[in-house]
Amino acid sequence: MILTVTLNTALDVTYTVDALVPHTSHRVGEVTERPGGKGLNVARVLGALGHDSVVTGFAGGPTGDVLRSLLAPLPPRDALVPVAGNTRRTLAVTDRSTGDTTQLNEPGPQVSAAEWAAFLRTYGELLADADAVALCGSLPPGIHVGAYADLVRIARAAAVPVLLDTSGEPLRRGIAARPDLVKPNAEELAQLTGSRDPLRAAGDARRRGAHTVIASLGPDGVLALTPDGVWRAAPPAPVRGNPTGAGDSAVAGLLSALAEGLDWPERLARAVALSTATVLAPTAGEFDAAAYAELLPRIVVEPHTPTP
């Protein structure tokens, strides 16, 4: 079983309009709702890949009820912890004329000390059956900034491989707890280390405590600093589409390949193929299964030698 943690779950609401024009009224052509938050997105992709996954985190209020009702028929098992506050919504407005998406993200509900303690009990129980755990996304109000560092330490004490996918101060503190894997993008690495050179920044992140750093380079694939060497993995050609959820698909690829015992080149190829197939999918946050099958054997994975 693969466990994903989303402390700040969301109900993702997408509006589609013909053209988004500031200071005007718009007629919405299509409205979709789905359970969201990075860890839930990861678990959904894991389910599509045939892996048993469980989602935990927080859900509460009327929005949380809707989220859980939408989650119920999906493959991930629901182990979300109830909170008194109302789960946040994220509103995406997609402009048909340009293909661009404008995102509005609410902050999330206030989490009490008692609710955090209840989550920690659930988390510890779930780790007993987990082959790997992913800690994903932002922290809701009321959760201390070192929360992910605590969760990394608990997973390591249980001998469960742990992947951390967050940003800012939670990432800085989480890395110091020595997670097995972190997956920042180039901007998150720059904020963490002060360097905009991905190789130098990833090396700095490893020295800070991460065993492996997978730096997402957007359409250029990933740069991986692992205990077995440095790798670059990239799609065979640039693609156009909606990148929403591409990073979460990459996390699912890394976790599923880890659970299957694949080597690093195979893990990276799967991650890049899934993220690229997500960009190509007609629905934001999903991956195009046919594109994934076609891309996987064509992903270029090579040992990386820095330019002198």
DSSP string covering 211-266:
SEEEEE-GGG-EEEEETTEEEEEE-SS---S--TTHHHHHHHHHHHHHHTT--HHH
For the chain, the C-alpha Rg in angstroms (whole number) is: 19
Neighbours of 82 (CB within 10 A): 13
Question: What phi and psi values does residue 177 have, to the nearest 5 degrees?
Answer: -85, 0
Helix (H, G, I), strand (E, B) or coil at 53: strand
- Residues serving a catalytic function are 248
Contact status, residue 186 vs residue 215, Cβ threshold 8 Å = yes
- Local structure of residue 185 (DSSP, 8 states): B
Locate 263 and state its tokens: 């080597």
Q: Which residue, 134, 132, 171, is CA-closest to 57?
A: 134
Helix (H, G, I), strand (E, B) or coil at 7: coil
